[in-house]
Amino acid sequence: MNINSKIYIAGHRGLVGSALWKTLQSKGYSNLVGRTISELNLMDAVAVDKFFAEEKPEYVILAAAKVGGIVANNTYRGQFIYENLMIQNNVIHSAYVHEVKKLLFLGSTCIYPKQAPQPMAEDCLLISPLEYTNEPYAIAKIAGIKMCESYNLQYGTNFISVMPTNLYGPNDNFDLEKSHVLPALIRKNHLGKCLHTNDWNALRVDLDKNPIEGINGSHSEEEILSILDKYGIRLNSSDSRVSIEIWGTGKPMREFLWSEEMASACVYVMENVDFKDTYSVDDKEVRNTHINIGTGKEVSIKELAETIQAKIGFEGELVFNADKPDGTMRKLTNPAKIHELGWHHQIDIDEGIGKMYEWYTK
């Protein structure tokens, strides 16, 4: 790529897409293209083809996806598999038809089996069953990897797949029903702190910016307390103590990567890595050409929650509900492949949580 190349970022307002946009701009890339869902519905094949025909992007980064945490994945199973397959199929195929020079497809480490060897290297793919709660989403992402591989092998395209570990950062989703664990814990601790300190002004400001099921800052205290209670943020009327419920035992281990570092890795791959670099020329069968993007470090959900609690200053109680599912117990990536290709992460979780909460409160 050069600084004048036309680069289309699908999902440019999301967590990763916005970080990619910012990173590319900081490096001098000025010909960036993005479309909101109201401007271009990526599930509409005709509209996507028309967009590619008119805009003629030279490079494509496919960061658009329907995403969510364990609750959303398990609840909206049909939507997660259908919408992600449609988005991927349309963008990847149009990139081939309109002769895009390089495409980067963003997947997820949930593609790996529930009982995958730890840490998970790229060759763990499809060796045993997936985690049930996010199986539809994972299958869609696996299909995206195989579509890129297959088009490369049949048509000679240069489509690369990267598998980020759990991401967090600016423009994350803080919806308590649909967000991933880290932003959900940050918001729950923030709202819990507001309740605990009786700071109703800050609490109402938060709800005005991001209502919960239509409940915003203009609603009554009773209505607000009711919706917070539904999502596990509870005020004990007898002693005014506040508790936060967290799904599962707190024992699962998770790895987290700052979204702007993921963007840095993606741009590095776009600038320096081609499909031929993702496998050995001696391989009789070309498989597992995707690239893990991670830190190789992990933390338990309990440790994560306690770190967030300390950073935010919430003095209430964290309650782990063992009747709720834990999900996969361990999901640690092996980042050896991306290290060999020349990229390493810099920001660890403690620093990242501080940066995340500072961004959220602003």
Q: What is the CATH number of the domain that holds 127?
A: 3.40.50.720
Domain coverage including residue 55: 7-171+254-297+331-348
Largest CA distance in the chain: 70
Domain assignment present for 196: no
What DSSP state is assigned to residue 8?
E
Which of the residues 8, 137, 168, 231 is marked catalytic?
A: 137
Residue 99: exposure state from Cβ atoms within 10 A (0-12, 13-18, ≥19): exposed
Concerning whether 137 is annotated as a catalytic residue, the answer is yes
Judge contact between 193 and 312, C-beta under 8 A. Answer: yes
Per-residue pLDDT of the chain (362 residues; tens, 9 = 90+): 999 999 999 999 988 899 999 999 999 999 999 999 999 999 999 999 999 999 999 999 999 998 877 778 888 899 999 999 999 999 999 999 999 999 999 999 999 999 999 999 999 999 999 999 889 999 999 999 999 999 999 999 999 999 999 889 988 889 988 788 999 999 999 999 999 999 999 999 999 999 999 999 999 999 999 999 999 999 988 888 999 999 999 999 999 999 999 999 999 999 999 999 999 888 889 999 999 999 999 999 999 999 999 999 999 999 999 999 887 788 899 999 999 999 999 999 999 999 999 999 99
Domain assignment present for 71: yes
Domain assignment present for 148: yes
Domain assignment present for 243: no
Domain assignment present for 28: yes
How far is Cα 121 from Cα 264, in angstroms, rounded to an integer? Answer: 21
Tokens 């964290």 -> residue: 318
Domain assignment present for 316: no
Number of compact structural domains in the chain = 1
- Provide φ and ψ at 78, rounded to 5°: -65, -45
Q: Which pTM was predicted? A: 0.86
Judge contact between 132 and 324, C-beta under 8 A. Answer: no
Judge contact between 269 and 104, C-beta under 8 A. Answer: yes
Domain assignment present for 1: no
Domain assignment present for 43: yes
The C-alpha torsion from 85 through 86 and 90 to 92, rounded to 10°, is -10
